[in-house]
């Protein structure tokens, strides 16, 4: 499948601004196909023909794009984009491009020998004809049109004239992603005074849902009790405008108003209406789902706090100091997980700013330093990366352990806890500063990573310390989390700036392989 831009580049001499104009036409032409009940095909002159066509002075024409109507059957079941035709096969296209005038409607035989009617409309930009738009549909054959068909066809011929005069598509950048209402959703034609000339049955239904009960024909939207800002705006600015009209919390209708121009003068407005109440209801559901998720995080946090309290009560009842200490450590670890859920219960998404976790954890560790003579200062520096919840939770536990180790091993122990753990490094010092550095996210081989460093100026590691040889629970929890769960790396070593102290650096990817 070729794109319009590709076909134009390969087969035509169109300049970028021309291609831009055609792109904008194609972005909006579903409306034209629906209103005309026809297939639309966009042609542009291709490189010169050879043989008889060349001798007869006929050119070749390439199809840049096509669209089928949603309001009628298609005359072009096959894909035409990129196909090149000679002028003898597409005489209307040739005549249209040469004369710069609309050609037809002519009768012709379409695919499967169906009789069809073709209209060729010149596409103008700044006075030049840059392409031809053909509209191919069932011949009207003297059939009597209903009011809807008549109104649609009138709107189409207005818009077709605008295409030929270079007034449609509208200049400026249309957002191609914006989903505009289609004709089947409901159509309203208004005259230059903003009075409704015609409203399709689906349009009437949409108005009923907005609370309009009066006869709509002949009335302005304002007379019908609706906000007509969108219609006035499209008239005043001579370009399309979109607005949502609502009734209460439950009915929402999107109105897209296209001004109909005739040599720059507004002669009417074509409004397409779409009931988007269901879309809005789903939006609200999503918002409330988000609220539910936050509520759940809140409850998880509360439950973790309850578990901590239960353990704390139990710790008070045991007589063994070792058992008490073990329980208190568990309390601390659970509390650091609660911090993450607390943060998630406040955030809209599934991501948490790491500072929101690091700060309360630092505060928790500071509070555990109850002895006033131990003046250890904690500092948080670096970036403030946002982490996915499944990275934030293990990292919160890791940080808790690393900070607790600085308190337990780097600085002077309170007399009761002296000698606990496997420390045996230089004499702990009384006071100092612990710096927590968070950097990232930065790129390593195309994957985003963050780094968390904990640097202390305390006693330093014991002689011959190695991470592999260490038997403490804290660092083994840290290793399991960092290396297995987070698929990251960890290093524990003495400071490299000549001072005593320890530096732990953890580096983890934000997205893991098994995700």
Ligand X SMILES: Nc1ncnc2c1ncn2[C@@H]1O[C@H](COP(=O)(O)OP(=O)(O)OP(=O)(O)O)[C@@H](O)[C@H]1O
Does 357 contact ligand X by CB under 6 A?
no
Among 156, 392, 406, 450, contact with ligand X (rule: CB under 6 A)? 406
Does 66 contact ligand X by CB under 6 A?
no
Burial of 245 (0-12, 13-18, 19+ CB in 10 A): buried
- The pattern of x and - marking residues 304 through 333 that bind ligand X according to CB under 6 A reads -------------------------x----
Residue 159 · residue 28 · CB < 8 Å: no
Please choose which of Mg ion, ligand X, none residue 470 contacts, taking the beta carbon within 5 to 8 angstroms, the exact cut-off set by kind: ligand X
Q: Smallest distance, Å, CB 425 to ligand X?
A: 5
Give the integer Cα–Cα distance in Å for 318 and 254. 68
Does 39 contact ligand X by CB under 6 A?
no
Give the integer Cα–Cα distance in Å for 192 and 259. 9
Does 475 contact ligand X by CB under 6 A?
yes
Does 421 contact ligand X by CB under 6 A?
yes
Among 385, 453, 474, 509, contact with ligand X (rule: CB under 6 A)? 474
Question: For 139-215, where are the E strands, in sequence order?
Answer: 187-191, 196-199
Q: Which of residues 116-145 bind ligand X (CB under 6 A)?
A: none
Shorter beta-carbon distance to ligand X: residue 164 or 455: 455
**Sign of the C-alpha dihedral computed for residues 288, 292, 295 and 297 taken in this order:** negative
Does 425 contact Mg ion by CB under 5 A?
no
Q: Phi and psi (nearest 5°) for 387? A: -115, 145
Give the integer Cα–Cα distance in Å for 515 and 492. 28
Stretch that binds Mg ion, among 146-154, 213-221, 470-478, 486-494 (CB under 5 A): 470-478
Among 472, 480, 489, 512, contact with ligand X (rule: CB under 6 A)? 472
Does 400 contact ligand X by CB under 6 A?
no
Among 470, 480, 489, 500, contact with ligand X (rule: CB under 6 A)? 470
Does 405 contact Mg ion by CB under 5 A?
yes
Stretch that binds ligand X, among 212-220, 234-242, 306-314, 420-428 (CB under 6 A): 420-428
Strand 386-388 with 432-444, pairing = unpaired
Shorter beta-carbon distance to Mg ion: residue 253 or 334: 334
Shorter beta-carbon distance to ligand X: residue 256 or 333: 333
Please choose which of Mg ion, ligand X, none residue 343 contacts, taking the beta carbon within 5 to 8 angstroms, the exact cut-off set by kind: none
Q: How many CA atoms lie within 13 A of 427 on its CB side?
A: 2
Token pair 């083994």 in the structure block, residue = 476
Neighbours of 23 (CB within 10 A): 19
Stretch that binds ligand X, among 10-18, 85-93, 213-221, 418-426 (CB under 6 A): 418-426
Three-state secondary structure string covering 410-441 = HECCCHHHCCCCCCCCCCCECCEEEEEEEEEE
Shorter beta-carbon distance to ligand X: residue 102 or 405: 405
* DSSP notation for 456-494: --SS-PPTT--TTT---HHHHHHHIIIIIIS--EEEEEE
End-to-end Cα, the chain, rounded Å: 33
Q: Smallest distance, Å, CB 467 to ligand X?
A: 9
Q: Smallest distance, Å, CB 398 to ligand X?
A: 11
Question: For 204-303, where are the E strands, in sequence order?
Answer: 241-247, 251-262, 265-275
DSSP H or E run through 106: strand 103-109
Stretch that binds ligand X, among 116-124, 216-224, 400-408, 442-450 (CB under 6 A): 400-408
Three-state DSSP state, 5:
helix
Q: Smallest distance, Å, CB 320 to Mg ion?
A: 19
Does 50 contact ligand X by CB under 6 A?
no
Which tokens sit at 379? 């500092």
Residue 429 · residue 412 · CB < 8 Å: yes
Please choose which of Mg ion, ligand X, none residue 400 contacts, taking the beta carbon within 5 to 8 angstroms, the exact cut-off set by kind: none
Residues that bind Mg ion (CB under 5 A): 405, 474
Residues interacting with ligand X, by CB under 6 A? 329, 401, 405-406, 408-410, 421-423, 425, 456, 458-459, 461-462, 470, 472-475, 502
């Amino acid at each position: 499948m070729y794109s319009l831009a590709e076909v134009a580049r390969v087969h035509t001499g169109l300049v970028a601004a021309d291609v831009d104009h055609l792109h904008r036409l194609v972005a909006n032409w579903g409306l034209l196909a629906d209103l005309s009940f026809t297939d639309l095909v966009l042609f542009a002159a291709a490189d010169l023909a050879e043989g008889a066509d060349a001798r007869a002075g006929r050119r070749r024409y390439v199809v840049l794009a096509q669209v089928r109507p949603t309001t009628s059957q298609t005359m072009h079941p096959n894909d035409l984009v990129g196909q090149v035709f000679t002028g003898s096969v597409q005489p209307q296209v040739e005549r249209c491009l040469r004369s710069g005038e609309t050609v037809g409607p002519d009768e012709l035989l379409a695919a499967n020998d169906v009789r069809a009617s073709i209209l060729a409309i010149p596409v103008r930009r700044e006075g030049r004809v840059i392409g031809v738009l053909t509209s191919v549909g069932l011949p009207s054959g003297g059939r009597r049109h209903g009011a809807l068909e008549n109104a649609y066809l009138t709107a189409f011929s207005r818009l077709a004239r605008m295409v030929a005069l270079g007034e449609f598509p509208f200049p400026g950048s249309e957002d191609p992603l914006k989903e505009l209402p289609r004709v089947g959703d409901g159509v309203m034609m208004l005259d230059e005074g903003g009075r409704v000339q015609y409203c399709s049955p689906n349009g009437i239904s949409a108005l009923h849902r907005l609370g309009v009960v009066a006869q709509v024909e002949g009335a302005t939207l304002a007379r019908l009790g609706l906000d007509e800002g969108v219609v006035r705006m499209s008239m005043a600015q001579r370009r399309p405008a979109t607005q949502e009209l609502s009734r209460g919390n439950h009915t929402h209708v999107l109105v897209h108003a296209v001004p109909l121009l005739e040599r720059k003068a507004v002669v009417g407005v074509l409004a397409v209406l779409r009931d988007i109440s269901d879309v809005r209801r789903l939006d609200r559901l999503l918002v409330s789902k988000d609220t539910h998720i936050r509520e759940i995080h809140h409850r998880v946090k509360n439950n973790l706090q309850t578990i901590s309290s239960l353990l704390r009560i139990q710790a008070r009842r045991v007589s063994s100091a070792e058992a008490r200490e073990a329980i208190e450590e568990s309390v601390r670890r659970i509390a650091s997980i609660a911090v993450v859920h607390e943060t998630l219960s406040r955030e809209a998404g599934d991501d948490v700013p790491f500072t929101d976790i690091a700060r309360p954890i630092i505060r928790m560790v500071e509070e555990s330093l109850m002895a006033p003579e131990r003046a250890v200062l904690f500092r948080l520096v670096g970036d403030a990366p946002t982490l996915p919840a499944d990275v934030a939770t293990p990292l919160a536990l890791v940080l808790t352990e690393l900070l607790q180790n600085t308190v337990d091993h780097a600085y002077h122990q309170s007399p009761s806890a002296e000698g606990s753990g496997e420390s045996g490094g230089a004499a702990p010092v009384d006071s100092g500063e612990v710096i927590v550095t968070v950097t990232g996210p930065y790129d390593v081989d195309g994957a985003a990573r963050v780094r968390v460093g904990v640097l202390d100026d305390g006693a330093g590691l014991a002689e011959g310390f190695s991470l592999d040889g260490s038997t403490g629970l804290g660092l083994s929890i840290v290793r399991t989390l960092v290396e297995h769960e987070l698929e990251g790396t960890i290093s524990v070593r003495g400071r490299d700036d000549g001072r005593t102290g320890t530096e732990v650096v953890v580096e983890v990817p934000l997205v893991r392989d098994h995700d």
